[in-house]
Homo-oligomer: A and B are copies of this chain.
Amino acid sequence: MRLESTLTGATHPEQPPHARAPRPGGRSARVRADVVTATLAEVTEKGYDGLTVEAVATRSGVHKATLYRRWGGVDGLVADALTASADQPWPLPDTGDLRQDLRRITQEVFSVFTDPELGPTPTALISAAQRSDTGAAALRAFFAARHRQAAEVAERAVTRGELPAGTDGAEVVRAATAPLYYRLFVSGEPLDARTAERAADAAALAARAGLFTSAEEDSAGPATAATPPTLAPPAT
């Protein structure tokens, strides 16, 4: 479980949550890498409630006081770990069909968070990040980056003429993934592959109906009814 290669090997020499260090040199970088690694391991094993600065200190070999000085506490540790994770790229599907692309995306989200092997870490990370202001800020940045990136799927659909011009790509992505995150982190209801599909289909449907164009104002018009598009029936 060597995350160091990914997280630290290519670690950008900035990002200490506090101040940009006048000494970004070797040691500080190593310390940060070790700490991030240890934090991820700890939060995965014990969850947020079990996350302790002292445990991270022990595991990373970095002194407790140093952790408090640089990260301020568990909040900062989690936020930094999340920030470090946010850099990693996310595979973007390109099937040539919006609905398929969205399905891939929601399926990806679904499998990442439910996979017994991979799931616990991102799940714990996000849960943990929700708890503090610093973590919340990191979360916002995290999702903003994801949405910005994934919006391309919708933008390609616009280019293909599949979606109306002016469609807000990020909004489409949010609509597709929101039901999943809602279940995972808010209502706590079980999440299955079917829900992931439905969410993607619903988002695609709404996008095609033009609900996500930014410069749009409707009221009670023909509403959404007139469009039972050629969309294939619900995945089910």
Point out residues on A near B: beta carbons under 8 Å. Answer: 1-3, 6-7, 40, 44, 48-49, 81, 84-85, 88-91, 99-100, 103-104, 107-108, 111-112, 115, 117-122, 125-127, 130-132, 136-137, 139-140, 143-144, 147, 171, 174-175, 177-179, 181-183, 185-189, 193, 196-199, 201-206, 208-213, 216-220, 223-225, 227-236
A interface SS class = helix
Which residue on chain B has the smallest CB distance to residue A95? B223
Q: Which residues of B contact A89 (CB under 8 A)?
A: 232
Q: Which residues of B contact A231 (CB under 8 A)?
A: 90-91, 108, 111-112, 118, 209
Copies in the complex: 2
Q: Which residues of B contact A99 (CB under 8 A)?
A: 223-224
Shortest A51–chain B CB gap in Å is 12
Q: Which residues of B contact A216 (CB under 8 A)?
A: 233-234, 236
Q: Which residues of B contact A91 (CB under 8 A)?
A: 228, 230-231
Q: Which among B40, B122, B225 is the interface contact of A208 at CB below 8 angstroms?
A: B225
Q: Which among B49, B181, B182, B236 is the interface contact of A131 at CB below 8 angstroms?
A: B49
Q: Which residues of B contact A171 (CB under 8 A)?
A: 198
Q: Which residues of B contact A90 (CB under 8 A)?
A: 231-232
Give Cα distance in the complex from A204 to B223, angstroms: 10
- Using A40-B235, A85-B233, A209-B234 as known contacts, say yes or no to A193 and B122 having CB atoms under 8 A apart: no
Give Cα distance in the complex from A224 to B144, angstroms: 25
- Using A206-B205, A208-B224, A227-B104 as known contacts, say yes or no to A3 and B234 having CB atoms under 8 A apart: yes
- Using A90-B232, A224-B197, A231-B112 as known contacts, say yes or no to A185 and B185 having CB atoms under 8 A apart: yes
Q: Is the Cβ of B202 less than 8 Å from the Cβ of A219?
A: no
- Using A186-B182, A198-B212 as known contacts, say yes or no to A233 and B118 having CB atoms under 8 A apart: yes
Q: Is the Cβ of A118 less than 8 Å from the Cβ of B235?
A: yes
Shortest A100–chain B CB gap in Å is 6
Q: Is the Cβ of A139 less than 8 Å from the Cβ of B211?
A: no
Q: Which residues of B contact A49 (CB under 8 A)?
A: 131-132
Q: Which residues of B contact A204 (CB under 8 A)?
A: 223-224
Shortest A204–chain B CB gap in Å is 6
Give Cα distance in the complex from A7 to B228, angstroms: 22
Q: Which residues of B contact A121 (CB under 8 A)?
A: 233-235
